Amino acid sequence: MTERPIPLRARLAASFIDVSPEWGVVAASKLMGAAARARLPRLVSRPAIAAYCRYFGVDLDDVDAASHSTGYDSFDAFFTRRLRRGARTIDRASAAIVSPCDGLLREVVQIREGVTVNAKGTAMSIAELVADEEVARRFEGGWAATIYLHPRDYHRVHAPCDALAEQVILVPGRLLPVTDAAIERVPSLFTLNERLVHILDTVHGTMAVVMVAAFGVGHMSCVYRHISAHPREIQRVPCEPPPRLRKGDELGIFHLGSTVVLVTEPGVEPIDLPLPAPLRLGQAILQGRGKP
């Protein structure tokens, strides 16, 4: 399929948000990531994290109590915090697809003729999103659900169903913000930003769990396969033998940021997806939640 050019208005908007991806936003984002990973005295980290929790409304009832009581030696350690046992219930029904993460449901759209349409009415190529034409063809006629992770949310990403991890695709890109205001200015930014794509073989066919970076993301890590941070070119990392993942097992971690796009093959219908009923965009969704 012919790549659709980014409209001049979007390119200008991107320039406004991200004046120089080489030494501007990328450098600032890496600096933020380094600062987040820097070891801090508990006398500094405790009040700083407490202020963050108050400002963003972090639900501390979900946090692993043992880790929280002893404190965190960096902001990244807090941001990538684990949940307490029982904080999320995984729907173990064999046919159930569950949410891979906490967040706000931003959109649910069908993939037609290789593209989907985001909430701002702009066509987005699935091949560009997953950076693989052959894999993208499997998704035509399927669905894409986009979940935005708010700064208050739990930032680990999990398998939506039992799966074999077929490959991991690392896609270099920019680090534009993924807020509603940023999408308004640059509707195609999900295909511009850095991405970590998990390609999963499941009973529902091939699925992709796409982790989209954002401004301030120190890096994204893959739990079941070692990868490099901030790739300079597309890397397709096969998993041989493919790790067997149970529903709810960890796939990856955001070290600050961002957004997850769950992509399915045809045959999966919206009723099969872990969506609120009635469907309301902007509604909160929890990791491990199956269909109502």
Catalytic residue among 45, 99, 188, 258: 258
Token duo for residue 206: 């091939």
Please confirm, yes or no, whether 258 is among the known catalytic residues.
yes
Percent of the chain's residues with pLDDT above 90? 30
Summarised one tens digit per residue, pLDDT across range 125-146 is 899 889 999 999 999 999 999 8
Please confirm, yes or no, whether 45 is among the known catalytic residues.
no
Query: Do 165 and 198 touch, CB atoms closer than 8 A?
Result: yes
- Please say if the pLDDT value at position 204 is more than 60: yes
> pTM of the full predicted structure?
0.82
Catalytic residue among 45, 76, 99, 102: 102
The greatest distance separating any two alpha carbons of the chain, rounded to the nearest whole angstrom, comes to 56
Summarised one tens digit per residue, pLDDT across range 134-185 is 999 999 999 999 898 988 899 999 999 999 999 999 988 776 555 665 656 6
Token duo for residue 240: 């041989």
Q: In terms of Cα–Cα distance, which of 196, 186, 184 is closest to 129?
A: 196
Query: Do 173 and 213 touch, CB atoms closer than 8 A?
Result: yes
Q: Is the dihedral of CA 75, 77, 80, 83 positive or negative?
A: negative
In angstroms, the CA 82 to CA 86 distance is: 11
Summarised one tens digit per residue, pLDDT across range 233-289 is 899 999 999 999 999 999 999 987 788 999 999 988 777 787 766 667 788 889 988
Catalytic residue among 158, 204, 230, 255: 158
Query: Do 88 and 288 touch, CB atoms closer than 8 A?
Result: yes
Please confirm, yes or no, whether 230 is among the known catalytic residues.
no
Bridge partners (DSSP) of residue 238 are 167
